[in-house]
């Protein structure tokens, strides 16, 4: 909640974390300066760009919008990369999951987005096995 821009008082009340610690977390992650830079970008351009450069037109809770849209773009880019290298048949995407079918065993430990090269560990679940 701190990184997403929630108010210190509300976070403290819900989490029972002392306000001083919450302020230290905000300072560690440069939340205020990041929020200010997003506000300035929006004021100047009428939009902000997420991590991948996609324009975001809403100025409602800029940090949250930036993080959520960047995470969604990571998922789509890395899912596409997985599909390219694995010869999978895609059946659906649900936020941060992809439903696929294949006749071969998958041996992937992570998703990687080809732009940032960020690697995220994955879990592969076999729903049924016809062999």
Place 92 in a pLDDT band, splitting at 50, 70 and 90: confident
Tracing tokens 């037109």 back to the chain, one arrives at 57
Instruction: Residue 2: count other Cβ atoms within 10 Å of its Cβ.
Output: 19
Highest mean predicted confidence (pLDDT) among 9-13, 26-30, 52-56, 103-107: 52-56
8 token code pair: 């210190």
The rounded percent of the chain whose pLDDT value lies above 90 is 42
In the predicted structure, residue 81 carries a pLDDT above the cut 80 = yes
Q: What is the pLDDT of residue 55?
A: 97
51 token code pair: 């991590």
Q: Cα(109)–Cα(126) distance, rounded to whole angstroms?
A: 15
Q: What is the pLDDT of residue 6?
A: 78
Dihedral of CA atoms 97, 99, 103, 108 in degrees, nearest 10, equals: -10
In the predicted structure, residue 131 carries a pLDDT above the cut 60 = no
Q: What is the pLDDT of residue 130?
A: 63
In the predicted structure, residue 5 carries a pLDDT above the cut 80 = no
For residue 22, CA distances in Å to 15, 33, 45, 82 come to: 10, 16, 31, 38
């Amino acid at each position: 909640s701190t990184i997403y821009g929630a108010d210190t008082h509300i976070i403290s009340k819900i989490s029972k974390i002392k306000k001083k610690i919450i302020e230290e977390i905000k300072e560690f992650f440069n939340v205020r300066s990041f929020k200010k830079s997003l506000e300035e970008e929006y004021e100047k351009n009428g939009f902000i760009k997420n991590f991948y450069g996609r324009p975001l037109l809403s100025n409602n809770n800029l940090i949250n919008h930036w993080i959520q849209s960047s995470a969604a773009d990571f998922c789509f880019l890395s899912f596409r990369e997985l599909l390219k290298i694995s010869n999978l048949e895609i059946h659906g995407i649900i936020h941060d999951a992809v439903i696929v079918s294949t006749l071969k065993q998958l041996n992937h430990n992570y998703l990687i987005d080809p732009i940032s090269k960020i690697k995220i560990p994955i879990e592969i679940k076999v729903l049924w096995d016809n062999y």
